[in-house]
Structure 1
Amino acid sequence: MQANIIDVTLENFQTTVIENSDKLPVLVDFWAPWCAPCKQVMPILEKLAKTHKDRFILAKVNTEEQQQLSEHFHIQSLPTFKICYQGKIVDSLEGVQTPAAFLAALEKYMPTDESENLRQKALVDIQLGNYESALAQLVEASQLNPNNFNIHLTIVKVYLAQGEISKALELAQRLPEDIQQAPEIKALLTHSKYIELAAEMPPLDTVNQQLASNSNNAEMLYALAIYQLAGNQTEQAMQSLLKLFTIQRDFNDDIARKTLLELFDSLKEVETELVNSYRRKLQNLLF
């Protein structure tokens, strides 16, 4: 277990919580082994503690084993969280919370995170189109705090803005799975899949020639859609897939519908109007 995640007992409470709170805020987590919400929130807290290891201490109190502490703090429900700062309880939270809610409660007491300050400055540079300056600040920020994956996510966005798709993809694939669920990353990873698939298709000239002879050639329609996706022609690809679905629903184990649903999922937050439009068109064909 890392240094800023501590199991608290009655014996070590004074040093673990009270004395440590003179230097950093201490988030005291009152939990129990039988408590499902406690188990749900524990990984969230441990990840936050890892990301902000020099900014707060996570102190875990097993209320089944430390009933005196639980009674002293009048714990009525689990999980309950107390923030101790400079020897005093300064805030309380109850129930499952989001990472943002925990950070909002802690932020008032945590020392400044210089890596996050640099990331915020980089975001301003990105808006101004100063990508080289932004990248330099983000690299410095990542060296200060390698566990702040928001920094790496922002670097991916800079690479995308610069058209450096391969660099963006390489970094994105190294990010933790939960970070890969960010809309930009999901879209990027989906796009890379179709670039790889396009390399397995017949040459594009052949595809176009075949479709010129028979516009309902299912195999060539699918190949065309893959080439269009690889080339970021998303709407044209959706049109091709809808046409394929219309003329031969069962082609390649329902691949047209499955591909459309995958696109809808990966693009719903970055191409919302387009996704909603083609989702309705697919639903009309289904029903």
Structure 2
Amino acid sequence: MDSKKGILLESGTNELEIVEFTIGNNKFGINVIKVKGIINPIPVTKIPHAHPNVEGIIELRGEVLPVVNLISALGLSASTDSSHDKFIVSEFNKQKIVFHVNNVTQIHRISWEQIEKPSDLYQGLESHVTGVIKLNDEMILLLDFEKIIFDINPNAGFNVDKIKNATTVDRSKKSLVVAEDSPMLRKLLFDTLSEAGYSNLEFFENGKDALHYLESIADKDVTSHVQLVITDIEMPQMDGHHLARRIKADNRLSKLPVVIFSSLITDDLRHKGEVVGANAQVSKPEIAELVDMIDKYIL
């Protein structure tokens, strides 16, 4: 997977690369940016009383990493042939996690516009699917890895206590637009931002819908209706980098502060947000830092 470094995409093009992997007869995808490496399975040390979806821990390049059995986490049947099993070493939300899958097949470069949001029939707070890709007469499902980890360790989510009583500033008259595709994270953001006093919140499932809303009010002195935009990076139809670039390229919207709130904010990738003009970037799940950044730009 080291070769992936040579094919990283320019920021704001609304494209991504995904690593396709399989579990049984099902095909799934993970953003290349989240993948640090792919290795053959190595012996796993079991942890007493661990979550059922955690196989144990491994030592890799001097680090001790948890191994999540993605097969059991998704409630699927494993392949009868385990000879092709792989460990996907990932990094997001400031942590490294290894996912055990049946096989890793190839890398695809696609546009976020090719990714359809899940149907309401199977989308919801309990769904692990954030997008569907139709490719070569097959379907590849994009997974909500943040939710998979949250289900194992709820303490890895937002800590509301960090923002309670943090300040007596009145935030109730400030309006925020939030673009976030994960139903679970939309709810967590609503709860935590409301707790912080930001009660005027407009949520959108992707950057495309958020941009359409902003454009619809752009001729009405947009900053009197919206004071700041918060956006995830990974979203069907339009990602957060492209959304930020479109906002900053529109003279009617360019004064709006844009804060990227994503699991992909790392020292190596921060430059991507800077290129598209984001005013600030905060890594999930640092909700207290997010509130501080919102305050900085609009209070």
* TM-score, structure 2 normalization: 0.27
* TM-score, structure 1 normalization: 0.28
Answer 1 or 2: which has greater strand percent.
2
Higher CA-based Rg: 1
Higher RCO structure (Cα 8 Å, ≥6 apart)? 2
